[in-house]
Amino acid sequence: MSKIRSGLSALSLAVGLALAGGSSVLYAEGEPTLSKEDFEKSKNIYFERCAGCHGVLRKGATGKNLEPSYVKKNKDGTEEPAGTLKLGQERLEKIITLGTEGGMVNYDDILSKDEISKMATYIQMQPPVPPEWGMKDQLGSHKLIVPPDQRPKKQMNNINLSNVFSVTLRDSGEVALIDGDTKKIVTIVKAGYAVHISRLSASGRYIYTIGRDGLVSLIDLWMETPQVVATVKSGMDARSVDTSKFKGFEDKYAVVGSYWPPQYTIYEGDTLKPLKIVSTRSMTVDGEYHPEPRVASIVSSPFKPEWVINIKETGLIKLVDYSDIKNLKEVTIESAKFLHDGGWDASKRYFLVAANMSNKVAVVDTKEGKLAALVDTKAKPHPGRGANFVHPKYGPVWATSHLGADVITLIGTDPEKHKDQAWKVVEELKGHGSGSLFVKTHPKSSNLWMDAPLNPEKEIAESVTVYDIKDLSKAPEVLNIAKLAELGTTKGTQRVVHGEYNKAGDEIWFSVWTGKTDPAAIVVMDDKTRKVKTVIKDPKLVTPTGKFNVYNTQHDIY
């Protein structure tokens, strides 16, 4: 069986794409090698499971640098080898098997021993460089399934669209639309692999989804049975999408941020026709060039024709004025590395985003167009969109949980009436474990919920912590949501992830995320009683993860 060199040219990381070129070249004696077949399998596993945190080129971000010959620079100026070749096969297999307390899950219940062994070998080989994806490629991938003039002029179904949940079915490459009133599946549509988020048009008519494979899908909720009416492939790997929401631009544009190639693309809002591509390759806040500055979170301002676009590896935040895309204007704000998820404060003037490997939260004043603060936090903040509520003592706060610490950090957000607390950590709430991805509340709720799905301990990953925000001196309650789902025995941990409220704010939905062939569920909790209200089970719910309520997502309610 031939051995291949991991530096083969133009290798695509996208699932299902064929080998683009290169020849089988033998490695020098003693260097790690894999057969062509095992290399391809490991490459796809890396894309599906690892690239999001460690990067396509393995230079690290939320996760550590995984380059074979990486040299670590110490604070005292000295250098030492710290690459995957230095760690070696045995140690890498142990890390992949058991996970880490910094937020990497254990893969012994996800991958086989053989897959873990080959993955340990694969990351000791040079990373393949995937192809670029420009305007010609995007136009060639664009599919207008139902043109706008052939779509309904009014809502053609009797569904309460404002309380529909768009639910990611990660490993089946689908999105389930679930009626929040009846708890019944309305329809399941094909979307990209591992859809990262769903976002709403300003009108609430269209759902935009973005898959990890770069596939953007436009779903029309007005149709008799909601369906995908347009798709386009934005790149090889992508995570973020949003729309134009400012008055006069409603539903006009969509914007998608890609992980690979590092760029963002502006599309026609009702057709997904690509209009403009902007590269994000540039210097970092440290003054060093980076070849893979991925676009992390994007939010749309309700007060300006402007998107806030966060560039992960550079630590730069772009305020992009879309009022004239032929003469596009950007304001570039320096913050910290590596930028990830974030959300608005309650006023929607200030955007707070985690710079999770700097252990900071950056605060952007979008009215003034400048950085308001860099707030130091515990390790690896990971807010999702965060959570806003009024603290009994400190006034309005925004909350984030953490991948690398078992706390929820509360940051003051009112520089006018609570100036002394503004942009400071006013309190840390003790959680049930690290490895949290999301923290959530609702304006009509008195609860604050936190998950911990990436904790390597089974009991912690299956549970959530819930706090009384009217009296934070009370001990929080820890609830094992997975047990409430009553799924029986599954191959791996039943990870509980992503609380999402219904429109009324009296229910919170959690996904019980299991293996691709295991039964899964969505547990609907009564927010007031903290008791299980409904468990949604269906064989078609394959690895449910993120859930996005139409009304709350449309209006940025969190």
DSSP string, 235-260: -SEEEEEEE--STT-TTTEEEEEEEE
Distances (CA, A) of 247 to 204, 265, 271, 301: 14, 21, 20, 11
Residues whose CB is less than 8 angstroms from the CB of residue 114 and which lie 6 or more positions away in sequence, other chains included:
none
For residue 30, the model assigns a pLDDT of: 62
Residue 534 confidence (pLDDT): 98
Known catalytic residue at 54:
yes
**Among candidates 411, 427, 298, 260, which has minimal Cα distance to 346?**
411
Candidate list 382, 391, 402, 418, residue with the active-site label: 382
Active site residue 53: yes
| Number of alpha carbons in the 13 Å side-chain half-sphere of residue 535 | 14
Give catalytic status of residue 555 as yes or no.
no
CB 262 within 8 A of CB 56: no
Contact 208, 140 (CB under 8 A): no
Pick from 419, 426, 416, 406: which is nearest to 361 by CA? 426
Q: Which pTM value belongs to this model?
A: 0.88
Q: Which residues pair with 278 in a beta bridge?
A: 264
Which is the catalytic residue, given 53, 119, 357, 525? 53
Out of 142, 196, 290, 340, which one is annotated catalytic? 340
CA distance 549 to 373: 31
* Spatial separation of the C-alpha atoms in residues 452 and 436, rounded to whole Å: 4
pLDDT given for residue 369 in this prediction: 97
Q: Domains in the chain and their CATH numbers? A: 1-131 (1.10.760.10)
What DSSP element (H or E) covers 231? strand 227-233
Strand partners, 289: 283
Q: Which is catalytic among the residues 54, 142, 391, 418?
A: 54
- Cα(401)–Cα(555) distance, rounded to whole angstroms? 22
Active site residue 223: no
Six-digit token string for 111: 């991958």
What local confidence, expressed as pLDDT, does residue 506 receive? 98
Q: Which two tokens stand for residue 354?
A: 């985690």
| Farthest-apart Cα atoms in the chain, separation | 70
What per-residue confidence (pLDDT) applies to 129?
Answer: 87
Q: Is 525 a catalytic residue?
A: no
Tens place of pLDDT per residue across the chain (558 aa): 333 333 333 333 333 333 233 323 334 446 799 999 999 999 988 888 898 889 889 988 888 999 999 998 888 889 898 999 999 999 999 999 988 877 787 888 789 999 999 999 999 999 998 899 999 999 999 999 999 999 999 999 999 999 999 999 999 999 999 999 999 999 999 999 999 999 999 999 999 999 999 999 999 999 999 999 999 999 999 999 999 999 999 999 999 999 999 999 999 999 999 999 999 999 999 999 999 999 999 999 999 999 999 999 999 999 999 999 999 999 999 999 999 999 999 999 999 999 998 999 999 999 999 999 999 999 999 999 999 999 999 999 999 999 999 999 999 999 999 999 999 999 999 999 999 999 999 999 999 999 999 998 999 999 999 999 999 999 999 999 999 999 999 988 999 999 999 999 999 999 999 988 999 999 999 999 999 999 999 999 999 999 999 999 999 999
Task: Identify the sign of the CA torsion 56, 58, 59, 64.
Answer: positive
Catalytic pick from 1, 50, 223, 450? 50
Classify strands 227-233 and 143-144 as parallel, antiparallel or unpaired.
antiparallel
Q: Residue 261, preceding bond cis, omega within 30 degrees?
A: yes
Task: Check if 104 is active-site.
Answer: yes
Six-digit token string for 411:
């940051």
